[in-house]
Amino acid sequence: MATYQLTVNGSRKTVDVDPTTPLLWVLREELKLTGTKYGCGISACGACTVHVAGVATRSCVVPVSLIGERPIVTIEGISNDPVGRAVQNSWVEKDVVQCGYCQSGQIMSAVALLKATPNPSETNIEESMGGNLCRCATYVRIREAIKSASQQVK
């Protein structure tokens, strides 16, 4: 066990965990931030996507010991960001979700995309969202919601 200081959604948190514990499980089990989901554990589905220092990151494969001082933003904190809020609102407006389990990760990937590329092409969307699996296959509406959010953040 080791003690780590993390900055999550702007708050300072202290956790005492095995250094190999992936960030995902620290968020879910230690900090009770269950909006970030476990889907595969091998960074193949994107359900666990969070922002680490602004970069969309698969939290299921990043040991907590590697986080250091980098601030973490999860789905629970993304509405504090104007792009985050716009994406969440577009998602609701376009009625994207079905089961909803993957959508935290989808939204976190979409926010990262729009921050880097405010006016994304279909190719940009497919590249940035290409690792986020949705078994309900809500992809058509994800495309629409990203384009709609893009109009709002420009």
Partner 1 sequence: MRPALKVGNDLSLNRRSFLRVTSAAAGGLLISLYLDRSIAAQQPSPPKVFPPDAFVHIRPDGKIVITVNRLEFGQGVQTSLPMILADEMDADWSQVIGELAPAADVYKDPLFGIQMVGGSGSIAHSFQQYRELGAKTRAMLVAAAADRWQVTPDQCRTENSVVYGPGNRSARYAELADDAARKPVPQEVKLKSPSDFRIIGKKVSRLDSRSKCDGSQKFGLDLDVPGMKVAVVAHPPVFGAGVRTLDDREARRLEGVRDVFQIPLAKGSGVAVVADRFWTAKQARDRLKIDWDLSAVERPDTVQLLARYKQLSTTTGTIAINRGDAKAMDSIAPANRIVAEYEFPYLAHTPMEPLNTTIRYDGDKAEAWVPSQFQTMDQMAIADVLGLKPEQVTFHTEFGGGGFGRRAVTDSHVQREAAIIAKRFRGTPIKLIWTREDDVRGGYYRPMHLHRVEVGIDRDGIPAAWRHVIVGQSLLAGTPFAMLIKDGIDETTVEGAKDMSYNIANLNISVHNPTVNVPVLWWRSVGHTHNAFVVETLIDELATRARIDPIVYRRKLLKSEAKKLQSVLDLLDAKSAWRQSLPKGRAVGIACHESFDTAVACAVDVSIENKRPRVHRATVAVNCGLAVNPLSVESQFQGGLGFGITQLMAKGAITLKDGRVEQRNFDGYTPPYISDTPMTVDVHIVPSTDPPTGCGEPPVPVISPAVVNALFRLTGKRYRTLPLITI
Question: Between residues 138 and 150, which has the closer beta carbon with respect to partner 1?
Answer: 138
Site map for partner 1, 85-104, x if CB under 8 A?
Answer: ---x--xx--xxxxxxxxxx
3-state secondary structure of 147: helix
3-state secondary structure of 12: strand
Q: How far separated are the first and last CA of the chain, in Å rounded?
A: 46
Interaction of residue 150 with partner 1, rule CB under 8 A: no
Give min distance, CB of 134 to partner 1, in A.
7
79 sits near partner 1 (criterion: CB under 8 A): yes
Interface with partner 1, residue 37, by CB under 8 A: yes
DSSP-derived secondary structure letter, 29? I
User: Does 66 sit near partner 1 (CB under 8 A)?
Assistant: no
**Helix and strand totals (H; E) in the chain:** 5, 5
Nearer to partner 1, 7 or 38 (CB): 38
The Cβ of residue 119 has, within 10 Å, a number of other Cβ atoms equal to 11
